[in-house]
């Protein structure tokens, strides 16, 4: 078995999930928690549809404590707004041929990291799993999804298949993705239709089927289609609305991540979801009034920092 040493930056839900699955597949793992927060006292993973938590091992430390040039494979498991700063904090520890694997939702943060660090191999994962922590270091794998993994830059093209091979040794469902940009947009399109609206209405995904809300979903889908078409991205044959509707119905009882963030008084990822669409639309001279309004409403109502 390959003995790649994986370093996971961010000991949150997804960081613990990936650290847990990697370690339980036999990989040595280091988990970097925040400087100002104590390390979790113990670590465990409750696998999908299992009741029992199983312990996993990881060296727990912080970015500043990592020795120079000691990390060759870094997984960034922070929220999108923390990703660039988090990578900067650990840059001294990256080897010259390091590969950075980005797990963030939405779009914009991955491109910002890729732009700032073209010398490193940048790989992105587009993830549909659901995970949450019950206490620090203890994660529940609540929803089985897929992690689509692909290269984001030229250096990444050289190593992304090795990354996929390692990840395929875990019990996560991994898909090698030749066109990660398209995969990220596909997920972004659904997030644009659902996340901001559930936060503003403080409602479950399924409650977006109420007529007034659903009209907004429909307008959001049309706007995203216009931007994706202008960017020459592939669109589902039946259009985005039927796809978004399936997700809304299939996850009717779920609280979207943005709703959860607002309930906890946290910074949302709106800049990287509707905000990203607004930014792209501006470059293309396309009007996206519904996304713009949701972006502004979320910013204002939940006291979000300006971007
Ligand atoms: P999370 O639970 O908030 O975890 C992020 C962790 O990173 C937090 O513990 C945070 O600390 C830590 N962090 C931030 N900056 C750091 C730094 N500089 N050094 C060390 N640690 C740092 O978030 P998550 O749910 O794992 O989500 C991570 C990303 O994955 C998001 O983009 C999310 O949308 C995406 N995602 C999540 C899931 C899921 O089911 N959880 C599924 C798919 C995609 P603080 O809490 O102190 O800020």
Cβ–ligand 1 contact at 275 (below 6 Å)? no
Confidence of residue 306 (pLDDT cuts 50, 70, 90): confident
pLDDT of residue 282: 98
- Asked if residue 124 is part of any domain, the answer here is yes
Q: Kindly report the average pLDDT of the chain as a whole number.
A: 97
Assigned domain for 294 exists: yes
Could you read off the pLDDT of 25-54 as tens digits, one per residue? 999 999 999 999 999 999 999 999 999 999
Same structural domain, 125 and 12? yes
Cα(212) to centroid(ligand 1), Å: 32
Quick check: is 306 in a domain? no
Q: Would the CB of 15 count as within 6 Å of ligand 1?
A: yes
Residue 62 CA, ligand 1 centroid: distance in Å? 15
| 231 and 148 both lie in a single domain | no
Beta carbon of 66 within 6 Å of any ligand 1 atom: no
Nearest CA to ligand 1 atom 3: 12
Task: Express each pLDDT in 262-302 by its tens digit.
Answer: 999 999 999 999 999 999 999 999 999 999 999 999 999 99
116 is catalytic: no
Same domain, 55 and 196: no
pLDDT single digits (tens) 219-260: 999 999 999 999 999 999 999 999 999 999 999 999 999 999
Find the 170 Cα to ligand 1 centroid distance in Å: 21
Domain boundary among 134, 152, 178: 178
Q: Which domain holds residue 207?
A: 182-301
The number of folded domains in the chain is 2
* 304/75: higher pLDDT: 75
> Ligand 1 pocket: which of 7, 9, 10, 48 to mutate (most atoms <8 Å of CB)?
10
| Predicted confidence (pLDDT) at residue 1 exceeds the cutoff of 70 | no
Residues for the chain: how many in total? Answer: 307
Beta bridge partners of 32: 9, 61
Do 200 and 268 have their domain in common? yes
Q: Kindly state whether residue 251 falls inside one of the protein's structural domains.
A: yes
Domain boundary among 178, 211, 242: 178
> Which of 253, 280, 127 has its CA nearest to residue 295?
280
Give the sign of the dihedral formed by CA 155, CA 157, CA 160, CA 165.
Answer: negative
With cut-offs at 50, 70 and 90, classify the pLDDT of residue 2: low
3-state secondary structure of 75: strand
43 and 163 fall within a common domain: yes
Indicate which residue of 79, 187, 232, 253 is catalytic. 187
**Six-digit token pair at 65?**
């404590």
160 and 77 in one domain?
yes
Cα–ligand 1 centroid distance for 215 (angstroms):
32
| Contacts of residue 6, Cβ cutoff 8 Å, sequence gap at least 6 | 18, 19, 22, 27, 28, 29, 30, 73, 75, 166
Average pLDDT over residues 116-136: 97
Tokens 């713009």, located at residue? 292
Question: For residue range 40-94, what is the model confidence (pLDDT) as tens digits?
Answer: 999 999 999 999 999 999 999 999 999 999 999 999 999 999 999 999 999 999 9
Minimal-distance CA residue to ligand 1 atom 47: 34
Query: Which CATH number goes with the domain that contains 271?
Result: 1.10.1040.10
- Unique residue bearing structure tokens 């910074």: 267
**Which protein residue's CA is at the shortest distance from atom 12 of ligand 1?**
10
Q: How far is the CA of 80 from the centre of ligand 1 (A)?
A: 8
Tell me the whole-structure pTM to 2 decimals: 0.98
Whether the CB of 137 sits within 6 Å of ligand 1: no
Give yes or no for residue 16 having a pLDDT over 70: yes
Rounded distance between C-alpha atoms, residue 56 and residue 72, angstroms: 21
Judgement on whether residues 27 and 133 belong to the same structural domain of the protein: yes
- Note whether 150 and 42 are same-domain residues: yes
Question: What is the residue with the minimal CA distance to atom 17 of ligand 1?
Answer: 86
Parallel, antiparallel, or unpaired: how do β-strands 6-9 and 53-55 relate? unpaired
Q: Which pLDDT tens digit goes with each residue over 180-201?
A: 999 999 999 999 999 999 999 9
Helices 211-230 + 289-301 axis angle, to 10: 120
């Amino acid at each position: 078995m390959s003995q790649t040493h994986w370093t996971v930056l961010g000991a949150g839900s997804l960081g613990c999930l990936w650290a847990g699955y990697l370690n339980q597949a036999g990989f040595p793992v280091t988990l970097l928690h925040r400087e100002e927060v104590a390390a979790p006292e113990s670590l465990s993973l409750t696998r999908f549809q299992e009741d029992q938590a199983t312990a996993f091992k990881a060296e727990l430390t912080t970015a500043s404590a990592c020795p120079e040039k000691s990390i060759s494979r870094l997984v960034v498991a922070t929220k999108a707004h923390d990703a660039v700063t988090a990578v900067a904090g650990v840059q001294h520890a990256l080897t010259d041929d390091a590969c950075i694997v980005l797990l963030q939702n939405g779009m914009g943060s991955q491109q910002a990291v890729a732009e700032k660090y073209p010398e490193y191999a940048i790989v992105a994962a587009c993830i549909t799993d659901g995970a949450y922590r019950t206490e620090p270091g203890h994660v529940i794998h609540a929803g089985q999804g897929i992690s689509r993994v692909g290269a984001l830059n030229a250096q990444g093209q050289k190593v992304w298949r090795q990354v996929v091979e390692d990840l395929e040794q875990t019990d996560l469902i991994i898909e090698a993705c030749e066109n990660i940009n398209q995969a990220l947009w596909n997920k972004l399109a659904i997030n644009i239709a659902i996340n901001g609206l559930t936060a503003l209405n403080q409602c479950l995904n399924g409650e977006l089927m109420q007529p007034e809300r659903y009209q907004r979903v429909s307008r959001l889908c049309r706007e995203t289609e216009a931007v994706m078409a202008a960017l020459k991205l592939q669109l589902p044959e039946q259009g985005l609305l039927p796809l978004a509707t399936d997700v809304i119905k299939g996850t009717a009882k779920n609280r979207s991540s943005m709703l959860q963030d607002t309930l906890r008084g946290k910074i949302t990822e709106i800049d990287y979801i509707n905000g990203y669409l607004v930014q792209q639309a501006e470059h293309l001279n396309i009007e996206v009034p519904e996304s713009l309004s949701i972006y502004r409403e979320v910013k204002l109502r939940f006291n979000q920092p300006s971007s």
